[in-house]
Chain A
């Protein structure tokens, strides 16, 4: 994490430290270097002064020695003789006494009397004589023949001045060594007169270096040079003030200071390294002290985020501890709120029982092993009750109901309210029928609501748990309970138990109901037409239209099934509309082909309560330029009796506009003959169940005979359905039945097949043949 606080802190720490250290080091080292340079310079100055002082002292010593010598009586006497040889020998003799390298004797007037140096020029003599005039307090260096002499002169008095005696001492290695011993500084004597000579305490190599830079000498007087030689600080002293040919160069070695400087620098580097390390450690420790609690907080927050309950953080720095505590409190708050939310999400607000989702979840956990039973209980006509006693009281009722459920025994393993008045109970072990009866009796005892006793009735759908279920089938289980409850409702029983297979039927019905609108829009439905033959005239003038549904998955679906489902689901008018429109379209087509037919359509009870329908049909026929008698309707007794009054009014309307009405499936319903009298019908169709065995079954024959007489008595025409044999036709003709419908003539046919069949049947020749065959 390059951007982590910890790293930033460490980097900042180190940066500041490095900056400080470097600045300090820069100043210290610069100051030290300056200081060392100053010291070195000072040292060199002191050395230089000492050297000059040394030469002066030497001068004094030599002068004193010489003055003693010159005061020597023998010397004076020898000088006073004026004899050259005597003088020369005494000079040599006395010169040796004080180790002089050169001895001269000058007259008081400056004339050379004698000299150990051969070939002195008058210039040399004047130079030396000048020394007697300005007797310097320091020292005098005399150059002769590339040699430097420190010269001292003393008067020879006997007792008046009779001569000047001078002695010279070469500036040789001994002097340099001596000076070095005193000053601690290397010294070179350089004589530049003509050729260059050097006498030095420096090693040979460095002497060469000095000589190579000899041009600097003159500028270096009183100044300092770093290149005479390198690694040395050097200053030059001019030994003779006149000729600039003789120099003393003092070389102060840098070594000592360089060593100190290096040592200081190394120490500082070491201190720097150590401080950096220490700073790093401290920064790391310090940063750790901050970041560790932060990481702990991060972990804490992460765990809280994952829903865990981590250990509270303790021992963090105060500010972070506040945060840590806040986090802990926040976690607790979240937890309690979560509990609340979970409770709310799992429980029904009103009753405090588990809700549907929680019940499913609980069931999934409880039903790891499938035993016991599930009971779904609802209150009969609760909506009605709701309307009567009001919502608030109904809610109270539900609460009381729920609390009674909780208090009754056997106590259910799980008790939940799925919705409204629907409760789901799990009994483990299973509850026996006797126990359940007892349970329900107690449950249905009157409830005290707002001062009045309210009695309720309940229905129960039971599902016995078995190995057929597993704990993933909770939805299925609940659906089965609902199916069972529904069964109870349909069958008006208190208790219904789910039977294996009901579910499949239920699912099929669901599918059918769901797919019906799709079937209409996608053309899965089609109409077939079954001819109705007048057996007296042996002609076909009418047909019944029947609906067929070829479902893509379920295949052929019996019309009874899907029509019943459509009625139950309230979709029947959709089918009726489709049948009506399609039939009229077909009729129009047939009319165009010159085929005149009366086609009967079946109307449901629902259709028969629609007072608008007769007018709509009339309009539709007119729109298609069809005569009113092109369409007839068939109604079942059951449909009529659902709401007889309304239906009869609608039927009257149909009759009023001239549409023929037939009673279908006569004999199967619970209708009374009184209705037959009241209904404005034209035709009665005797149900196939009486017809199909008429030629073998005497009872059926008798029933049909009686029915025909009855119907004929009412002056209605009779249709026999389901005639399958020629004998049946004969019998029916004999019984004075008017019209026959059945496989003996034709099964229900699609429109084009029907057209073909119709043309053939009604052709005189052909029909004669058939009639013959029939006869």
Chain B
């Protein structure tokens, strides 16, 4: 069942003439050709030249309507991520992932210091109070990464030309796809990548309150996206 190479079924690219700055637009689909969001695309230069550090950027993993948002957050190595609690409930955010283990007790309206993700890897984040809450922070080693939006589109800019290894990751992926190489030599590339996933619903908050679970429809409007 695990056909790893299928993910790169259709990789077409154009050679970019510009050496210094190119961009890659990736259209992510599943095997049925349906747009696939929340896919992290990381390009790692094949030649181990020093990669320029990514410009410091603000990352946050919000807790809003008792779900994590975004579901998948890709950050560069060394990035700091805020965990703002926008709910009126407490959250106890934790991670036991080897890339980063932490616990963050977030009280209502009380900000905590951002967490530093200094190790590349995948960090699965949960809430000890709300078991269904789940989110993933992908700590990329390379500065060239992006995550696809709901339309399956991800774009990476400021890519130096050269050959890269393309790594894909999705929380629902059935298998970890084999990395493939891609040569970036044009200023703009557009590729369509396919990933074999087992589609699930993204974690969503059940109706708030204990008794509400028996009458979910009345709280339908609180579902966040």
What residues on A are CB-neighbors of B96 within 8 Å? 76-77, 80, 158, 162
B131 and A160: CB pair below 8 A?
no
Contact mask for chain A residues 78-101; partner B; CB cutoff 8 A; 1 contact, 0 none: 001000000000000000000000
A: number of interface residues (CB 8 Å):
10
Chain B interface size, under 10 / 10 to 19 / 20 to 34 / 35 or more? 10 to 19
The verdict on A157 contacting B126 (CB below 8 Å), with A71-B131, A76-B96, A80-B96 known, is yes
Say if the beta carbon of A159 comes within 8 Å of chain B.
yes
Say if the beta carbon of B159 comes within 8 Å of chain A.
no
A159 and B125: CB pair below 8 A?
yes
- The answer for the CA separation of A71 and B92 in the assembled complex, in Å, is 14
Say if the beta carbon of B94 comes within 8 Å of chain A.
yes
Query: Once A and B bind, how many residue pairs between them come within 8 Å at the CB atom?
Result: 26
What residues on A are CB-neighbors of B127 within 8 Å? 159
- The answer for the CA separation of A587 and B128 in the assembled complex, in Å, is 189
The verdict on A159 contacting B124 (CB below 8 Å), with A76-B96, A80-B96 known, is yes
The verdict on A158 contacting B101 (CB below 8 Å), with A71-B131, A77-B96 known, is no
A159 and B101: CB pair below 8 A?
no
B124 and A160: CB pair below 8 A?
yes
Say if the beta carbon of B155 comes within 8 Å of chain A.
no
Say if the beta carbon of B133 comes within 8 Å of chain A.
yes
B134 and A158: CB pair below 8 A?
no
B134 and A73: CB pair below 8 A?
no
B126 and A80: CB pair below 8 A?
no
What residues on A are CB-neighbors of B101 within 8 Å? 80
- The answer for the CA separation of A80 and B127 in the assembled complex, in Å, is 15
Most buried by B among A77, A157, A160: A160
Query: What is the distance, in angstroms, from B97's C-beta to the closest C-beta of chain A?
Result: 8
| 15 interchain pairs, CB-CB under 8 A | A71-B131, A73-B92, A73-B94, A80-B96, A80-B101, A158-B94, A158-B96, A158-B124, A158-B126, A159-B126, A159-B127, A159-B133, A159-B134, A160-B126, A160-B134
- The answer for the CA separation of A76 and B101 in the assembled complex, in Å, is 13
Query: What is the distance, in angstroms, from A419's C-beta to the closest C-beta of chain B?
Result: 141
A74 and chain B: residue at smallest CB distance = B128
Within 8 A of A (CB), among B119-163: 124-128, 131, 133-134
Query: What is the distance, in angstroms, from B100's C-beta to the closest C-beta of chain A?
Result: 12
Query: What is the distance, in angstroms, from A87's C-beta to the closest C-beta of chain B?
Result: 13
What residues on A are CB-neighbors of B134 within 8 Å? 159-160
A159 and chain B: residue at smallest CB distance = B126
Within 8 A of B (CB), among A513-554: none
Within 8 A of A (CB), among B61-102: 92, 94, 96, 101
- The answer for the CA separation of A73 and B94 in the assembled complex, in Å, is 10
- The answer for the CA separation of A464 and B177 in the assembled complex, in Å, is 174
- The answer for the CA separation of A80 and B101 in the assembled complex, in Å, is 10
Query: What is the distance, in angstroms, from B170's C-beta to the closest C-beta of chain A?
Result: 13
What residues on A are CB-neighbors of B133 within 8 Å? 159
- The answer for the CA separation of A158 and B94 in the assembled complex, in Å, is 8
What residues on B are CB-neighbors of A160 within 8 Å? 124, 126, 134
- The answer for the CA separation of A703 and B191 in the assembled complex, in Å, is 221
- The answer for the CA separation of A77 and B97 in the assembled complex, in Å, is 11
What residues on B are CB-neighbors of A158 within 8 Å? 94, 96, 124, 126
- The answer for the CA separation of A80 and B125 in the assembled complex, in Å, is 13
A72 and chain B: residue at smallest CB distance = B128
Rank and list the top 3 A-B pairs by shortest CB-CB distance, nearest first: A159-B126, A80-B96, A159-B134
B124 and A73: CB pair below 8 A?
no
What residues on A are CB-neighbors of B131 within 8 Å? 71, 157, 159
B135 and chain A: residue at smallest CB distance = A159
What residues on A are CB-neighbors of B126 within 8 Å? 157-160
Within 8 A of A (CB), among B170-220: none
- The answer for the CA separation of A390 and B92 in the assembled complex, in Å, is 170
- The answer for the CA separation of A159 and B127 in the assembled complex, in Å, is 8
- The answer for the CA separation of A73 and B126 in the assembled complex, in Å, is 11
- The answer for the CA separation of A704 and B34 in the assembled complex, in Å, is 207
